[in-house]
């Protein structure tokens, strides 16, 4: 029987950030395989800088409303406080963009860009 | 009589469910600082990790160091060599979810991260990778 661990509780207790699933197995070869997997997927940039997702290679200058920045700052402050994760507001913005674009349908995008006018009585 | 046996078996099953060491915790002990070239006192951290795992979770195994190399594209494709040591510790679900044990494990990782000048300390618990990046004492 496989017990489900409370990973959120473990992350909180450690003061760590959950970075993703791995296939961990015992023994020397399991250890070496896991090490290779982690080195390939979760590499910390050397020579300074914050650990980041190696797939985020593109940079764009995006104008934002002050209230959007303020909200991102508030949210990251809460994440830092509760999750022990050292996250920057624009890293959160990148995560939100990634998640939203993965799930957004074309008609939903149209609706965001050109919202239908509601009938006014 | 049969009732007693059923009760005993249920109790035994409960004990096994909480007591068997089937959660694998893996800690990576780096060989160099985050600049990729300054060596750290790796043996000291391996010994300290084994001592901590032994005291808190009842035991651990450090595997001989692995040799690794990777290309740092952010520094013009410089090749960085490292030789991390992997420490394995089998524990119980109850022990790994224990707040005091987690605090002690977290404290050790932050101390190693801070004193060995790391960008991140990596830990695997079960099938998930955890990263500790903020080394400030809590």
Q: Which residue has the tokens 């000291």?
A: B44
Please tell me which residue of chain A has the smallest CA distance to B119.
A44
Q: pLDDT tens, A35-89? A: 777 666 666 554 444 455 656 667 777 888 889 988 888 887 776 666 545 667 7
Q: Which ipTM score applies to this complex?
A: 0.79
Euclidean distance between CA atoms B34 and B31, whole angstroms? 10
Euclidean distance between CA atoms B102 and B137, whole angstroms? 14
Tokens describing residue A11: 């992350």
Q: pLDDT tens, B73-118? A: 666 776 777 888 999 999 999 999 999 999 999 999 999 999 998 8
Euclidean distance between CA atoms B84 and B35, whole angstroms? 15
Residue of B20, B60, B91 lying closest to A10 (CA atoms): B91
When CB atoms are compared, the residue of B84, B97, B134 closest to A5 is B97
* Chain B residues in contact with A5 (beta carbon < 8 A): 23, 93, 96-97, 125-126
Q: Which residue has the tokens 């010994």?
A: B47
Tokens describing residue B63: 């595997």
When CB atoms are compared, the residue of A42, A46, A84 closest to B122 is A42
When CB atoms are compared, the residue of A9, A22, A39 closest to B97 is A9
- The whole model's pTM is what? 0.61
| B131–A19 CB contact, under 8 Å | yes
CB B69 within 8 A of CB B84: no
Q: B54 to chain A, minimum CA–CA distance in Å?
A: 18
């Amino acid at each position: 029987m496989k017990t489900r661990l409370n990973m959120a509780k473990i992350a909180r207790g450690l003061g760590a950030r959950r970075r993703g699933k791995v296939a961990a197995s015992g023994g020397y070869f399991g250890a070496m395989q896991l090490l290779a997997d982690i080195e390939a997927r979760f590499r910390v940039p050397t020579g300074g800088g914050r650990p980041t997702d190696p797939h985020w290679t593109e940079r764009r200058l995006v104008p934002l409303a002050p209230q959007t920045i303020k909200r991102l700052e508030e949210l990251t402050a809460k994440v830092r406080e509760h999750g022990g994760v050292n996250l920057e507001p624009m890293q959160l913005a990148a995560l939100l963009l990634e998640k939203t674009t993965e799930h957004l349908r074309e008609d939903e995008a149209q609706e965001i860009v050109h919202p239908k006018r509601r009938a006014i009585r | 009589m049969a009732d007693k046996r059923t009760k005993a078996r249920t109790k035994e099953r409960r004990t096994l469910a909480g007591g068997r060491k089937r959660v694998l915790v893996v800690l990576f002990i780096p060989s160099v600082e985050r600049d990729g070239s300054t060596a750290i006192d790796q043996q000291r951290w391996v010994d300290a990790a084994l001592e901590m795992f032994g005291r808190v979770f009842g035991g651990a195994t450090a595997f001989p160091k692995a040799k690794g190399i990777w290309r740092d594209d952010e520094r013009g494709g410089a090749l960085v060599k490292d030789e991390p040591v992997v420490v394995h510790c089998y524990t119980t679900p109850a022990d790994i979810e224990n707040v005091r044990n987690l605090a002690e494990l977290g404290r050790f990782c932050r101390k190693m991260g801070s004193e060995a000048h790391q960008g991140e300390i990596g830990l695997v618990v079960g099938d998930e990778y955890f990263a500790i990046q903020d080394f400030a004492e809590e």
